[in-house]
Chain A
Amino acid sequence: MSVLTGVGIGRGVAVGPILRMPEPLPEPDTIASTIGPDSERERVTNALAATAEDIRSRGERAGGKAQEVLDAQAMMADDPTLRSDIDVRIDNGATAERAVFEAFNGFKEMLLAIGGYMAERATDLDDVSQRIIARLSGVPAPGVPTSDVPFVLVARDLAPADTALLDLDRVLALITSDGGPTSHTAILAREKSITAVVGVVGALSLDDGTNVIVDASTGIITVGPSVDQTEKAKATILERAQRAAVPIGPGALADGTHIPLLANLGSVDGVDAALAAGAEGVGLFRTEFLFLDAKSAPTVAQQYTHYSKLLRGFSGKKVVVRALDAGADKPLSFLNDAHEENPALGLRGLRALRASEHILRDQLTALSRAAQESDADLWVMAPMVSTVEETKYFVDIAHELGLATAGVMVEVPSSALLADRILAIAGFASIGTNDLTQYTLAADRMLGTVSSFQDPWHPAVLRLVGEVGSAGAALGKPVGICGEAAADPLLAVVLVGLGATSLSMSPAAIGDVRSELARFTRDQAVAFAQAALAADSPQSAREAVRALAEPGS
């Protein structure tokens, strides 16, 4: 038995055999063919047909939108233009592998040169090309492995394309060697409530079929566990399932203090799932989906339709809508077309809206109209606010357009430090812990090499959260949390101890957070917060709080 450690996401425990995600293939050698063009062509014919067939049958299994994408990929493998291109290269002496690689690369370069939406499709070509080359070389195709029995998936990190195809019913847990608590894998795990441990050094040296216990609450992977350990883990899994089955009710501490549990939503599609999970409202409604892929901003009437639908779903409840948050990782050409060296520090969030004020006004007008016809309690907030003056700017426009409750996101340290003055103007604050961590630690959250800095348990981040919490308490203004941190059950208790009055998260995380809050009183939450603030590092903050929460474990 041996042990590996990483950063656990959530509190889940899983037991099972591992399956590794194959690594990307190396570029095929440029050596000349030794078997001649006729044989190489025959190999290509077989590999293309088999790959197209394989992709098509995966599409049939997936169904829906995934099938359409996979059918298009199958057609690429069958493509007549590609085939003649490959044949020319084979006739010039290339191996089948190299000819396929070069032919696909040619098309990929062409798509990248066209740019925009077409360039985004270039990854489809890569995927098809890798599958054909894998078949020619007799190695497993890169991508998500499939299995008839449930397994623990081990990967370097997962890309969005991988997770779209992942059969979640078969995945017991995720282990990655790279990536931090805000990597794509971690976000997926929180969204779907999958047990995961990320950033596990040595994970890639595990062999397929090895049995492991994955404990996300401690971040420990037990490799080749004993029978006793396995039994104990299974008992924990059962106990957790029973705890999750407690009837849904409002979020509250053990002493009865009400802490509303709200949902983060990225479109109106998630409304039903949020209500089913017992969300008491929406703490963060992201509006980017209305604007992405658009060449110009949607009209007031188009936006109004979406907002009305959202508010209908949460009749009588609180709904916090964030104004368009473009820039940095979500660029929109009609808002900011300039190339920036540091887009995270650039014209983004409210800064970008201010530069195109008509877009902000249209959005708030549409929201105001939808609110007038609904009995939901609509709050609006501005993204990426860094000054008191910006706060006043946004709140004034919102009030002018008939929106009574206007607040700001606190994502920049300057806003946290001046929270007392910002909250004197704003109706409420909502802390975006992902960006607040990125800006506090000066570590780009999109960059894998600095992902270890992206940990919301960092005492510096918690101290800033505490500033906002105290300011809110002094002024009687609500302070919400809408970053991923609120979905970490133990950290959620710490955040409440720091003064958060509501928590908003992926709907799938609500159950775990609800049962964790119910275990502790406000006094305990405050004691946890003090212990975390006194720590030197995120690791020691986590350990200190865990020692208080689970004495004797």
Chain B
Amino acid sequence: MPTRTVVVASSHGLHARPAALFSQAAAKAGVPVQLTKGGKTVNAASILGVISLGIDHNDEVVISVDGDGADELLDQLTELLTTDHDA
């Protein structure tokens, strides 16, 4: 399964708003997307799942995508996580 390791840029981590942007994008993808931090994996389309990982600024997370167009989708999701939405 294609994966990408990303360092989160938002200065307050993935709280409500950045998490919503990320989950929305993952939900729209139409293929299963998973987000992993420190051994815990959640459905990336679930905002509560994403928030419950407690992702902080500068944390390292792994995005995994299954299905067609995985690379393009990974690019798009990586960009969301490497943008500081709190700036």
Report yes or no: B20 in contact with A68, Cβ–Cβ below 8 A.
Answer: yes
A82 interfacial contact with B, CB 8 Å: yes
Which residues from chain B contact A79 at a C-beta distance below 8 Å? 46-49
Interface residues on chain B, size class:
10 to 19
How far does the alpha carbon of A79 sit from the alpha carbon of B49 in the complex, in Å?
9
How far does the alpha carbon of A71 sit from the alpha carbon of B46 in the complex, in Å?
14
Which residues from chain A contact B73 at a C-beta distance below 8 Å? none
Report yes or no: B54 in contact with A118, Cβ–Cβ below 8 A.
Answer: yes
Interface residue ranges of A107-126 to B (CB < 8 Å): 107, 110-111, 114, 117-118, 121, 124-125
Of the residues B12, B20, B42, B52, contact of A71 by C-beta under 8 Å: B20
B19 interfacial contact with A, CB 8 Å: yes
- Assuming A68-B20, A72-B20, A121-B15, is B46 touching A80 (CB within 8 A)? yes
Min Cβ gap B41→A in Å is: 12
How far does the alpha carbon of A344 sit from the alpha carbon of B85 in the complex, in Å?
34
Report yes or no: A124 in contact with B54, Cβ–Cβ below 8 A.
Answer: no
A75 interfacial contact with B, CB 8 Å: yes
Listed residue (A107, A110, A118, A293) with the most chain B CB atoms within 10 angstroms of its CB: A118
A81 interfacial contact with B, CB 8 Å: yes
A301 interfacial contact with B, CB 8 Å: no
How far does the alpha carbon of A75 sit from the alpha carbon of B17 in the complex, in Å?
11
Report yes or no: A111 in contact with B46, Cβ–Cβ below 8 A.
Answer: no
Min Cβ gap B35→A in Å is: 11
- Assuming A80-B46, A81-B43, is B52 touching A107 (CB within 8 A)? yes
B23 interfacial contact with A, CB 8 Å: yes
B62 interfacial contact with A, CB 8 Å: no
Annotate B21-34 by CB proximity to A: 1 below 8 A, 0 otherwise.
Answer: 00110000000000
Interface residue ranges of A380-421 to B (CB < 8 Å): none
How far does the alpha carbon of A293 sit from the alpha carbon of B20 in the complex, in Å?
20
Report yes or no: B19 in contact with A81, Cβ–Cβ below 8 A.
Answer: no
Report yes or no: A121 in contact with B52, Cβ–Cβ below 8 A.
Answer: no
B45 interfacial contact with A, CB 8 Å: yes
Report yes or no: B52 in contact with A117, Cβ–Cβ below 8 A.
Answer: no
Report yes or no: B17 in contact with A69, Cβ–Cβ below 8 A.
Answer: yes
Report yes or no: A75 in contact with B51, Cβ–Cβ below 8 A.
Answer: no
Nearest residue in A to B45 (C-beta to C-beta)? Answer: A80
Min Cβ gap B32→A in Å is: 11
How far does the alpha carbon of A360 sit from the alpha carbon of B54 in the complex, in Å?
33
B7 interfacial contact with A, CB 8 Å: no
A76 interfacial contact with B, CB 8 Å: yes
Min Cβ gap B87→A in Å is: 12
Listed residue (B17, B42, B46, B47) with the most chain A CB atoms within 10 angstroms of its CB: B47
Which residues from chain A contact B17 at a C-beta distance below 8 Å? 68-69, 72
Min Cβ gap A455→B in Å is: 38
Of the residues A76, A80, A117, A124, contact of B43 by C-beta under 8 Å: A80
Min Cβ gap A100→B in Å is: 13
Nearest residue in A to B85 (C-beta to C-beta)? Answer: A68
Which residues from chain A contact B19 at a C-beta distance below 8 Å? 72
How far does the alpha carbon of A219 sit from the alpha carbon of B42 in the complex, in Å?
54
Report yes or no: A82 in contact with B16, Cβ–Cβ below 8 A.
Answer: no
Report yes or no: A81 in contact with B20, Cβ–Cβ below 8 A.
Answer: no
Report yes or no: A75 in contact with B47, Cβ–Cβ below 8 A.
Answer: yes
Of the residues A68, A117, A125, contact of B13 by C-beta under 8 Å: A117
Report yes or no: A72 in contact with B48, Cβ–Cβ below 8 A.
Answer: no
Which residues from chain B contact A293 at a C-beta distance below 8 Å? 12
- Assuming A80-B43, A81-B46, is B20 touching A121 (CB within 8 A)? no
How far does the alpha carbon of A125 sit from the alpha carbon of B52 in the complex, in Å?
12
Question: 27 interchain pairs (CB within 8 A)?
Answer: A69-B16, A71-B20, A72-B19, A73-B16, A75-B20, A75-B47, A79-B47, A79-B49, A80-B43, A80-B45, A80-B46, A81-B42, A81-B46, A81-B48, A82-B48, A107-B48, A107-B51, A107-B52, A110-B52, A111-B51, A111-B52, A111-B54, A117-B15, A118-B13, A118-B15, A118-B51, A118-B54
Which 6 residue pairs are nearest across A and B when measured between Cβ atoms?
A114-B54, A81-B46, A72-B20, A81-B49, A72-B16, A75-B47
* A72-B47, A293-B12 known, 19 other contacts, Cβ within 8 Å: A68-B17, A68-B20, A71-B20, A72-B20, A73-B16, A75-B47, A76-B47, A79-B48, A81-B48, A81-B49, A82-B46, A107-B48, A107-B52, A111-B52, A111-B54, A117-B15, A118-B13, A118-B15, A121-B15
List the interface of chain B (C-beta within 8 A of A): 12-13, 15-17, 19-20, 23-24, 42-43, 45-49, 51-52, 54
